Amino acid sequence: MAQRSRAGIKILHPAYHNPMGIKKQLKPRFLQHTFLTGAICIHTLLAISSAARAQSKPAEIQIISDTRFQYGIGLIGESSAHPEIIDTLRPFGKQGSPTNKQIRPPIWKMPQWASRYNLKNTPSVQHGDTIIYQNQGKKVSFLTQGKETTISLEVFGSKEYLKPRIANEAWPHLLLEQRTNQMPIAKMKELDFRISARLLYSINKTGTAYDPGLHAAQVTFYLLIQNVNKASAGYSDYFWFGLPLYDSRHPILEEYAAQDLGKEDATKKFILNVASKEIYSGTLHDKKWINIHKDLYPLIKKAFQKAKDNGYLKTTTFEDIAIESTNLGWEIPGTFDSGIQFKNLKLSTEMQE
């Protein structure tokens, strides 16, 4: 997070100047005592000032928590109409809360919308330091090194699809989802987002039926921006704010703004994905690590205004909105076998004073 600038304090040593020509001089011992006393006072004042600044500095608030997946991931099934947890992946065992020994429920959820192969009841396998959950349709891996956990998400579209997808047909998902503490965005100083991502592979197995208007493999980090003001006429209305990481069709991604459509359970809400150049340089198509560090506050403010300009959120103000939840992972509306890795995920803020 950006820190406040601190004004430098310059300590000037006194010059014992005698403009009147007075011959009487301070005794060296008294000089030494005076200088020492002054230095102690200045040191004390600086210490008090430093402590006061530390106490007044706003605390950093984590919008996303458990970024090392220590409390596991709650599995959700294939239908968005039934978003209940049906099983739990616990790659690091059952972890207790830092303040007590009770087992903490998972903070993360993993929707598997429109999948043929559900990870429910899939046992973990350990290969070296990597914990793996895998079935015919997907694979989830965890590797912890020091204080850093790398998670890999892989979807085998060649197994998930029996035939090429047609228009308005649902497609397989493998997502990481988390509800947030819903801090009001208008009161934030900034919104610090960080992530490192690397494409492992993405292989188009659609064949001659391939249509780029229907078939792709995509990864986007989405924030659901919602009106959380119960006194507002627009309470609970929302839009999708997206940070595009990968699209099999385009190495560099342009801004996309439209209504959320394309399948039966689409939300029909406004969706805005920023241009990839707004958040990072290069492309995940190179299969190298991309490191992102970006203040999202101005981008969200701009996206909110664009939603208003397009006729959405008519009874919602910027002061009404907060981040209700986030999700990140694969959407595979085509016969693609694809894998990606993430680490160093962070979303945090400092509130205005």
Q: What's the pLDDT tens digit per position in 15-28?
A: 323 333 333 333 44
Residue pair 324/228 in contact by the 8 Å Cβ criterion: yes
Lowest mean pLDDT among 1-15, 54-68, 240-254, 316-330: 1-15
Q: How confident is the model at residue 260 (pLDDT cuts 50, 70, 90)?
A: confident
Rounded mean pLDDT, 184-203: 97
Task: Measure the CA–CA gap between 51 and 302, rounded to whole angstroms.
Answer: 37
Lowest mean pLDDT among 19-28, 143-152, 263-272: 19-28
Phi, psi of 80 (to 5 degrees): -70, -15
Residue pair 166/334 in contact by the 8 Å Cβ criterion: no
In eight-state DSSP terms, residue 184 is B
Please tell me the pTM assigned to this model. 0.81
Task: Measure the CA–CA gap between 62 and 345, rounded to whole angstroms.
Answer: 11
Q: What is the pLDDT of residues 75-87, one digit of tens each?
A: 999 998 899 999 9
Q: Are strands 290-295 and 270-273 parallel, antiparallel or unpaired?
A: unpaired
Residue pair 11/35 in contact by the 8 Å Cβ criterion: no
Judged against a pLDDT cut of 70, whether residue 272 lies above it is answered with yes
Phi, psi of 210 (to 5 degrees): -60, 130
Judged against a pLDDT cut of 50, whether residue 285 lies above it is answered with yes
Q: Are strands 218-227 and 256-259 parallel, antiparallel or unpaired?
A: unpaired
Our CA angle for 61, 141, 119, nearest 5°, is 100
Name the CATH superfamily housing domain 147-351. Glycoside hydrolase family 11/12, catalytic domain (2.60.120.180)
**pLDDT score, position 101:** 63
Rounded mean pLDDT, 190-213: 97
Residue pair 328/222 in contact by the 8 Å Cβ criterion: yes
Beta bridge partners of residue 295, listed in sequence order? 192
Rounded mean pLDDT, 252-266: 82
- Average pLDDT over the chain, rounded to an integer: 85
Q: Domain residues of the chain, as ranges?
A: 30-57, 147-351
**pLDDT score, position 19:** 33
Q: Which of 278, 276, 310, 295 is nearest to 346 (CA)?
A: 295
**pLDDT score, position 109:** 98
